[in-house]
Chain A
Amino acid sequence: MRHLSRRAALALGAGSAAITLVGWSKSASATPQAAAADIAKFTAGATPEQGKISIELPEIAENGNTVPLSISVDAPMTSNDYVSDVLVVAEGNPNPGVGTFHFTPLSGKAEASTRIRLASTQNIVVVAKTSSGKFYTAQKLVKVTIGGCGG
Protein backbone atom coordinates (compact mmCIF):
# COMPACT_ATOMS: atom_id res chain seq x y z
CA MET A 1 0.00 0.00 0.00
CA ARG A 2 1.93 3.02 -1.28
CA HIS A 3 -0.66 5.59 -0.53
CA LEU A 4 -2.63 5.04 2.58
CA SER A 5 -5.84 6.80 1.67
CA ARG A 6 -7.52 9.08 4.13
CA ARG A 7 -10.44 6.70 4.30
CA ALA A 8 -8.25 3.66 4.95
CA ALA A 9 -6.36 5.52 7.64
CA LEU A 10 -9.61 6.41 9.34
CA ALA A 11 -10.81 2.82 9.13
CA LEU A 12 -7.57 1.64 10.71
CA GLY A 13 -7.96 4.18 13.48
CA ALA A 14 -11.53 3.15 14.13
CA GLY A 15 -10.50 -0.50 14.14
CA SER A 16 -7.83 -0.01 16.75
CA ALA A 17 -10.19 2.08 18.83
CA ALA A 18 -12.69 -0.78 18.73
CA ILE A 19 -10.00 -3.23 19.86
CA THR A 20 -9.09 -0.96 22.75
CA LEU A 21 -12.72 -0.82 23.75
CA VAL A 22 -13.20 -4.57 23.62
CA GLY A 23 -10.02 -5.14 25.60
CA TRP A 24 -11.16 -2.64 28.16
CA SER A 25 -14.71 -3.84 28.55
CA LYS A 26 -13.50 -7.09 30.11
CA SER A 27 -12.42 -5.20 33.20
CA ALA A 28 -15.65 -3.18 33.32
CA SER A 29 -17.76 -4.63 36.04
CA ALA A 30 -20.70 -2.32 36.60
CA THR A 31 -23.93 -3.80 35.47
CA PRO A 32 -27.47 -2.46 35.61
CA GLN A 33 -27.80 -4.69 38.71
CA ALA A 34 -24.92 -2.93 40.48
CA ALA A 35 -26.44 0.43 39.54
CA ALA A 36 -29.82 -0.73 40.85
CA ALA A 37 -28.14 -1.77 44.12
CA ASP A 38 -26.69 1.75 44.47
CA ILE A 39 -30.11 3.24 43.86
CA ALA A 40 -31.77 0.89 46.37
CA LYS A 41 -29.21 2.02 48.98
CA PHE A 42 -29.97 5.67 48.20
CA THR A 43 -33.77 5.25 48.42
CA ALA A 44 -33.57 2.81 51.35
CA GLY A 45 -35.71 0.39 49.36
CA ALA A 46 -38.42 2.82 48.24
CA THR A 47 -39.44 2.68 44.58
CA PRO A 48 -38.94 6.09 42.96
CA GLU A 49 -41.63 7.60 40.75
CA GLN A 50 -40.87 8.54 37.15
CA GLY A 51 -40.81 12.24 36.35
CA LYS A 52 -39.94 15.72 37.68
CA ILE A 53 -36.33 15.33 36.50
CA SER A 54 -34.84 16.47 33.25
CA ILE A 55 -31.45 15.20 32.17
CA GLU A 56 -29.41 17.00 29.54
CA LEU A 57 -26.81 14.80 27.90
CA PRO A 58 -25.63 14.56 24.31
CA GLU A 59 -27.32 11.76 22.36
CA ILE A 60 -23.95 10.74 21.01
CA ALA A 61 -20.80 11.44 23.01
CA GLU A 62 -17.77 11.35 20.75
CA ASN A 63 -15.35 11.44 23.66
CA GLY A 64 -16.31 9.48 26.74
CA ASN A 65 -13.60 11.26 28.75
CA THR A 66 -15.68 14.35 29.18
CA VAL A 67 -19.41 14.28 28.61
CA PRO A 68 -21.42 17.34 29.66
CA LEU A 69 -24.27 16.47 32.02
CA SER A 70 -26.99 18.81 33.31
CA ILE A 71 -29.70 17.79 35.70
CA SER A 72 -32.67 19.83 36.74
CA VAL A 73 -35.44 18.80 39.10
CA ASP A 74 -38.79 20.54 39.15
CA ALA A 75 -39.17 21.69 42.77
CA PRO A 76 -40.21 24.89 44.59
CA MET A 77 -36.98 24.91 46.70
CA THR A 78 -38.65 26.56 49.69
CA SER A 79 -37.49 25.78 53.22
CA ASN A 80 -40.19 23.15 53.69
CA ASP A 81 -40.33 21.70 50.19
CA TYR A 82 -37.07 21.19 48.36
CA VAL A 83 -34.93 18.58 46.67
CA SER A 84 -32.18 17.55 49.07
CA ASP A 85 -30.12 14.96 47.21
CA VAL A 86 -29.69 13.88 43.61
CA LEU A 87 -27.89 10.62 42.84
CA VAL A 88 -26.36 9.95 39.43
CA VAL A 89 -25.37 6.42 38.36
CA ALA A 90 -23.97 5.07 35.11
CA GLU A 91 -24.96 1.50 34.28
CA GLY A 92 -21.99 0.70 32.07
CA ASN A 93 -18.99 2.15 33.92
CA PRO A 94 -16.51 0.08 35.99
CA ASN A 95 -18.18 1.56 39.08
CA PRO A 96 -21.79 2.68 38.73
CA GLY A 97 -21.47 5.74 41.01
CA VAL A 98 -20.96 9.10 39.30
CA GLY A 99 -21.79 11.46 42.12
CA THR A 100 -24.44 12.90 44.39
CA PHE A 101 -25.51 16.53 44.42
CA HIS A 102 -26.74 17.92 47.74
CA PHE A 103 -29.06 20.92 47.56
CA THR A 104 -30.48 23.20 50.22
CA PRO A 105 -33.22 25.86 50.07
CA LEU A 106 -30.34 28.33 49.57
CA SER A 107 -29.58 26.63 46.25
CA GLY A 108 -32.58 28.42 44.77
CA LYS A 109 -32.87 25.87 41.97
CA ALA A 110 -32.38 22.10 42.02
CA GLU A 111 -30.18 22.31 39.00
CA ALA A 112 -26.50 21.48 38.47
CA SER A 113 -24.08 20.62 35.69
CA THR A 114 -20.79 18.81 35.53
CA ARG A 115 -18.73 16.74 33.09
CA ILE A 116 -18.54 12.98 33.42
CA ARG A 117 -16.63 9.97 32.09
CA LEU A 118 -18.47 7.22 30.27
CA ALA A 119 -16.83 3.92 29.38
CA SER A 120 -19.32 2.83 26.75
CA THR A 121 -22.83 3.34 25.42
CA GLN A 122 -25.07 3.14 28.44
CA ASN A 123 -27.98 4.44 30.48
CA ILE A 124 -27.52 7.25 32.97
CA VAL A 125 -29.99 7.02 35.83
CA VAL A 126 -30.82 9.97 38.09
CA VAL A 127 -32.72 9.67 41.36
CA ALA A 128 -33.85 12.71 43.34
CA LYS A 129 -34.86 12.80 46.98
CA THR A 130 -37.16 15.53 48.28
CA SER A 131 -37.24 17.00 51.78
CA SER A 132 -40.57 15.22 52.33
CA GLY A 133 -38.91 11.84 51.64
CA LYS A 134 -40.27 11.24 48.13
CA PHE A 135 -38.13 9.84 45.35
CA TYR A 136 -38.23 10.59 41.63
CA THR A 137 -36.22 9.07 38.85
CA ALA A 138 -35.37 9.52 35.18
CA GLN A 139 -32.88 7.94 32.81
CA LYS A 140 -31.24 8.70 29.51
CA LEU A 141 -29.28 6.60 27.03
CA VAL A 142 -25.97 7.98 25.75
CA LYS A 143 -24.11 6.51 22.79
CA VAL A 144 -20.39 6.71 23.40
CA THR A 145 -17.97 6.55 20.46
CA ILE A 146 -14.69 6.38 22.43
CA GLY A 147 -14.72 5.21 26.03
CA GLY A 148 -13.32 7.41 28.73
CA CYS A 149 -11.89 5.41 31.59
CA GLY A 150 -8.37 4.87 30.28
CA GLY A 151 -7.01 1.38 29.98
Chain B
Amino acid sequence: MAETPKIRVPKTAKKGEVIEIKTLLPHTMESGQRKDREGKTIPRKIINKFAVEFNGKPVFSATIEPAVAANPYLQFFAKVDESGTFKFSWTDDDGSVTTAEEKITVA
Protein backbone atom coordinates (compact mmCIF):
# COMPACT_ATOMS: atom_id res chain seq x y z
CA MET B 1 0.00 0.00 0.00
CA ALA B 2 1.58 3.15 -1.19
CA GLU B 3 -1.18 5.41 -0.02
CA THR B 4 -0.67 7.50 3.07
CA PRO B 5 -3.55 7.82 5.52
CA LYS B 6 -4.67 11.23 6.75
CA ILE B 7 -5.17 11.30 10.50
CA ARG B 8 -6.22 14.09 12.83
CA VAL B 9 -5.51 13.62 16.54
CA PRO B 10 -5.11 16.53 18.98
CA LYS B 11 -1.48 17.01 20.11
CA THR B 12 -2.43 17.48 23.74
CA ALA B 13 -5.39 16.73 25.99
CA LYS B 14 -6.42 16.90 29.63
CA LYS B 15 -6.52 13.70 31.67
CA GLY B 16 -9.82 11.90 31.15
CA GLU B 17 -10.77 14.07 28.19
CA VAL B 18 -12.77 12.53 25.33
CA ILE B 19 -11.04 13.55 22.13
CA GLU B 20 -12.23 13.40 18.54
CA ILE B 21 -10.18 11.49 15.96
CA LYS B 22 -10.66 11.65 12.20
CA THR B 23 -9.05 9.28 9.71
CA LEU B 24 -9.10 8.86 5.95
CA LEU B 25 -7.27 6.37 3.77
CA PRO B 26 -7.14 6.96 0.01
CA HIS B 27 -8.53 3.71 -1.48
CA THR B 28 -10.88 2.96 -4.37
CA MET B 29 -13.03 0.54 -2.32
CA GLU B 30 -13.91 -1.43 -5.47
CA SER B 31 -17.32 -2.83 -4.56
CA GLY B 32 -17.37 -5.95 -6.74
CA GLN B 33 -20.64 -4.70 -8.25
CA ARG B 34 -19.20 -2.67 -11.13
CA LYS B 35 -18.55 -4.03 -14.60
CA ASP B 36 -15.79 -3.05 -17.03
CA ARG B 37 -16.30 -2.21 -20.72
CA GLU B 38 -16.38 -5.89 -21.72
CA GLY B 39 -19.10 -6.52 -19.18
CA LYS B 40 -16.85 -8.45 -16.83
CA THR B 41 -17.32 -7.82 -13.14
CA ILE B 42 -14.45 -5.89 -11.59
CA PRO B 43 -13.35 -7.97 -8.60
CA ARG B 44 -14.03 -6.66 -5.13
CA LYS B 45 -11.09 -4.96 -3.40
CA ILE B 46 -11.89 -3.00 -0.30
CA ILE B 47 -10.58 -2.17 3.13
CA ASN B 48 -12.50 -4.66 5.25
CA LYS B 49 -11.23 -3.80 8.71
CA PHE B 50 -10.07 -0.71 10.55
CA ALA B 51 -8.71 -0.79 14.09
CA VAL B 52 -7.30 1.69 16.61
CA GLU B 53 -5.29 0.90 19.72
CA PHE B 54 -4.05 3.26 22.40
CA ASN B 55 -0.97 2.05 24.29
CA GLY B 56 -1.82 -1.48 23.15
CA LYS B 57 -5.45 -1.40 24.28
CA PRO B 58 -8.30 -1.47 21.74
CA VAL B 59 -10.17 1.84 21.43
CA PHE B 60 -12.35 1.48 18.35
CA SER B 61 -12.59 -0.78 15.35
CA ALA B 62 -14.89 -1.23 12.40
CA THR B 63 -15.80 -4.11 10.13
CA ILE B 64 -16.34 -2.60 6.72
CA GLU B 65 -18.47 -3.76 3.78
CA PRO B 66 -18.40 -2.56 0.16
CA ALA B 67 -21.18 -0.09 1.05
CA VAL B 68 -18.60 2.20 2.63
CA ALA B 69 -17.65 4.93 0.16
CA ALA B 70 -14.28 5.22 -1.59
CA ASN B 71 -11.47 6.73 0.51
CA PRO B 72 -12.94 5.34 3.74
CA TYR B 73 -13.41 8.12 6.26
CA LEU B 74 -13.99 7.34 9.91
CA GLN B 75 -14.54 9.74 12.75
CA PHE B 76 -14.80 8.54 16.35
CA PHE B 77 -13.76 9.37 19.90
CA ALA B 78 -11.25 8.21 22.48
CA LYS B 79 -10.95 8.79 26.20
CA VAL B 80 -7.36 9.50 27.20
CA ASP B 81 -6.05 9.12 30.76
CA GLU B 82 -2.33 9.11 30.00
CA SER B 83 0.15 10.18 27.33
CA GLY B 84 0.75 7.61 24.67
CA THR B 85 0.50 6.46 21.11
CA PHE B 86 -2.47 5.65 18.94
CA LYS B 87 -1.87 2.84 16.45
CA PHE B 88 -4.12 2.71 13.41
CA SER B 89 -4.45 -0.17 10.96
CA TRP B 90 -6.40 -0.70 7.76
CA THR B 91 -6.70 -4.23 6.38
CA ASP B 92 -7.13 -4.68 2.64
CA ASP B 93 -8.96 -7.59 0.95
CA ASP B 94 -5.59 -8.64 -0.49
CA GLY B 95 -4.22 -9.09 3.03
CA SER B 96 -1.98 -6.01 3.08
CA VAL B 97 -2.19 -3.80 6.14
CA THR B 98 -1.57 -0.06 6.21
CA THR B 99 -0.49 1.23 9.59
CA ALA B 100 0.10 4.62 11.16
CA GLU B 101 0.86 6.08 14.58
CA GLU B 102 0.02 9.34 16.32
CA LYS B 103 1.27 10.53 19.70
CA ILE B 104 -0.65 12.52 22.25
CA THR B 105 0.55 14.27 25.40
CA VAL B 106 -1.84 14.22 28.33
CA ALA B 107 -1.21 16.85 30.97
**Chain A residues with a Cβ under 8 A of chain B:** 27, 65-67, 70, 77, 90, 93-95, 97-109, 111-118, 148-151
Closest CB-CB distance, A20 to chain B, in whole Å? Answer: 12
Tally chain B residues at the interface, Cβ within 8 Å.
29
A151, B36: Cα distance in complex, Å:
9
Total of A-B residue pairs, C-beta within 8 Å: 106
With A107-B77, A150-B31 known as contacts, the answer to whether A101 contacts B67 (CB < 8 A) is: no
Chain A residues near B64: list those with CB within 8 A.
99
**Chain B residues with a Cβ under 8 A of chain A:** 18-19, 31, 33-35, 54, 57-70, 72-79
| Contact indicator B77/A113 (Cβ below 8 Å) | no
A117, B60: Cα distance in complex, Å:
22
A149, B66: Cα distance in complex, Å:
9
With A100-B63, A104-B58 known as contacts, the answer to whether A27 contacts B68 (CB < 8 A) is: no
Out of A27, A93, A103, A105, which one reaches B67, CB within 8 Å?
A93
| Contact indicator B62/A116 (Cβ below 8 Å) | no
| Contact indicator A106/B57 (Cβ below 8 Å) | yes
| Contact indicator B76/A112 (Cβ below 8 Å) | yes
A102, B33: Cα distance in complex, Å:
26
